[in-house]
Amino acid sequence: MLIAPSLLSCDFSKMGEEVVRMDKAGADWMHLDVMDGHFVPNLTFGAPIIKWVRPCSDKPFDVHLMISEPLRYIDDFASAGADIITFHAESDSDIAETIKKIKGHGIKAGLVLKPNTPASAAFPYLQDLDLVLVMTVEPGFGGQRFMADMMPKVRELKEEITRRGLDVLIEADGGIGADTIAQAAKAGVDVCVAGTAVFKADNPAQVIRELQQY
């Protein structure tokens, strides 16, 4: 299991130091949640902040755009140092165009599905995607409880990806920790975003190692 600590749970006043701390703790990716206060009822940070913390780690920056018009900002986030850009199927931007724009920068593209969005929403785009992110909470805030009823969606995606012989990762985001990661792994998740479970731990490195065992 790849583990991507969510910077949403970090101390924003020390974000660079928090990235270094997670890097040293053995994180596989850094997960950066960008929220516009419109698509979701919360505001976080944008491309300039990501650009400033980019030199703090060589680990892949997994940038999750929870914004209404991702297509307008792909260039900005690519220039800021994103290695992976995921955006929502429910956003206002054309999905195929947004994927093309991301891939045009030579970086990986992912499509995100909110809890009420079916797995089938990603099927027409799977051949052009590098990953599908299944939200296991309603997007917008950290610290929410894991929605186990999203696991059938993960299994449906995994079956379709396997059936078509594609190389597409499945990522899960929301409420992931020691007590929930086994369910995600069993369903076929390849990458888990972990926020509170890692950042609030006394020993983040130990937590990350334990989660990676799945």
Identity of the residue numbered 200: K
Which tokens hold the place of 68? 């209404």
Enumerate the β-bridge partners of residue 170.
Answer: 132
CA 100 to each of CA 31, 34, 107, 111: distance values in angstroms, whole numbers, following the listed order: 22, 20, 10, 12
Cα of 143 vs its chain's centroid, Å = 15
Provide the angle, in degrees to the nearest 10, between the axes of the packed helices 15-24 and 204-212.
50
CB 65 within 8 A of CB 73: yes
Enumerate the β-bridge partners of residue 33.
Answer: 64
Identity of the residue numbered 184: A
Residue found by looking up tokens 């660079």 in the block:
16
Q: Which residues are catalytic?
A: 33, 173
Which tokens hold the place of 83? 């290695």
Residue found by looking up tokens 């045009």 in the block:
104
